[in-house]
Structure 1
Amino acid sequence: MSDPVPELVEGAVTIHHGDNLDVMSGFPDRSFTLIYLDPPFNTGRAQERAVETARMPGTESTGSSVVRRGFHGRDYERLRGDLRVYDDRFDDYWGFLEPRLAEAWRLLAVDGTLYLHLDYREAHYAKVLLDAIFGRDHFLNELIWAYDYGAKSRRRWPTKHDTILVYVKDPARYWFDSEAVDREPYMAPGLVTPEKAARGKLPTDVWWHTIVPTSGREKTGYPTQKPEGVLRRIVQASSRPGDRVLDPFAGSGTTGAVAAALGREAVLIDSSTAAIDVMTTRMPGAVVRG
């Protein structure tokens, strides 16, 4: 069970309008059982970043900067420098994302799980750096969300998947309930008993799920909206009714809509006025701050 923390919300969903780094810094440690981050896949712009004042486990101070001791004896700054050689866009993007991940890690309960949703351009860099920051033994899964919609390239294999990296705060204490997750059809139902075929199978780490349909109940018009089915699986597996769920890049509010429907308390953050408008229309009973 997670440590008790002060009450954060006044209803099933609270929406904060503001910079997520500023908002998160006001929450107490270990406030959330589940944190889902769906950041811009690559901002393409430099962000000023203050020198960190709080050190994470496995770090040491070296004057004005912090060096994190990573896996295989390599230090964090050297690792990031090596990656910069291969992709000169990456350091700017990580300068934006890194402090937000550090705050999310602080806010994660001892039995909590962090999901980072990225695409193929950044996922491999993020995996190496998250291993260095959080510790390789805290890595739980690489999830592949595969879909088949939109234009198809004829000059390479069409890119039709996202990557979701999953890390747990304590490898011995994290919450995971596979039985609570919606089951899916067998790809070859004739190879199993009729009873098993009727029940469906537990999902693996590859999730086949359509994007949000262009018409239908879910569609909000928000350009980066994620389907409820993907978020439902995450919330079902890694939280319990009554647990708190955080989405710092809330966008269309899918995390909040799903979490509230499943009896969780959701805290959503976004700096975009358009996102706030979409979320308040989608969840008219939400408490809005900022």
Structure 2
Amino acid sequence: MLYAAVMAGRIYQSDNLEVLRSLPDASVDLVYIDPPFNTGKRQKRRSIKTVRDDEGDRTGFKGERYKTIALAARAYDDAFPDFIEFMQPRIEQAHRVLKPTGSIYFHIDYREAHYCKVFLLDAIFGRDCFVNEIIWAYDYGGRPKRRWPAKHDTIFLYVKDPKQYTFNQDAIGRIPYMAPGLVGPEKAARGKLPTDVWWHTIV
């Protein structure tokens, strides 16, 4: 199923292989891929989105209010013995459709992150196109008794061309300084750019 919304451009939410194959070369600014994590379990998911709304049920930095919108509920079997082969044509197509200024954010967890970086992203984009490994840390879910609890996901940022890519620092939501008294009032009011470790509850 394909959902498209027109804003400044077009956003596709879909099984990405079909859509990617339909797009022309070098036509996309940003690809975000959040594939199944190959957990070996049946997964149930409720999709939501948040939008700015003065009467919203969530509060962000500087008191910004956000409304939560439920989108859909679905389930799937998250077991792929050939996970790398499953993902390879998708990453190849993502590379093809990205503009020279474009970026891909690849969201995965600890089970497949290392394989995906080496055998997919490095192999297709090239190691010189790797920009960041973002760690999304959270404190949600169970606590196993025989290992450290896994409480983070990995988001790899790669770019089509490391000399031309776009990174809109001014468009990123700022976070407060932990010790605002150690910076000037203007910096404290503006907040700081988040690091590559994101501490957010799973939404």
Tell me the TM-score normalized by structure 1: 0.50
Q: Report sequence identity in percent.
A: 62
Query: Greater helix share, 1 or 2?
Result: 1
Gaps of 5+ in 1: 1-8, 45-88, 213-290
What per-residue deviation string (whole Å, max 9, x for no partner) do you get for residues 143-200 of structure 1? 1111122222343222111100111001110011212211112233343344433321
How many matched pairs?
Answer: 160
Q: Distance in 2 between matches of 1:135 and 1:172?
A: 13
Structure 1 partner of 2:167: 176
What per-residue deviation string (whole Å, max 9, x for no partner) do you get for residues 99-123 of structure 1? 1110111011110001100001111
Structure 1 partner of 2:16: 20
Q: Secondary structure at the match of 2:102?
A: strand
Q: Distance in 2 between matches of 1:138 and 1:107?
A: 16
Determine if the alignment matches structure 1 residue 31 to structure 2 residue 21.
no
Determine if the alignment matches structure 1 residue 148 to structure 2 residue 144.
no
Determine if the alignment matches structure 1 residue 11 to structure 2 residue 2.
no
Change in Cα spacing, 1:43 to 1:32, as seen in structure 2 (3 Å) is farther
Q: Distance in 2 between matches of 1:149 and 1:199?
A: 30
Structure 2 partner of 1:126: 116
Tell me the TM-score normalized by structure 2: 0.70
2:98 paired residue among 105, 108, 122: 108
Change in Cα spacing, 1:16 to 1:182, as seen in structure 2 (3 Å) is closer
Task: Report 1 or 2 for greater relative contact order, CA contacts < 8 Å, sequence distance ≥ 6.
Answer: 1
Q: Secondary structure at the match of 1:183?
A: coil
Q: Distance in 2 between matches of 1:102 and 1:34?
A: 14
Alignment of 1:112-261 (within 5 A): 112-129=102-119, 130-212=121-203
Structure 1 partner of 2:89: 99
Change in Cα spacing, 1:134 to 1:199, as seen in structure 2 (3 Å) is same
Gaps of 5+ in 2: 41-78
**One-letter amino acid matched to 1:37:** I
Is 1:43–1:93's contact at 8 Å kept on the other side of the alignment?
A: no
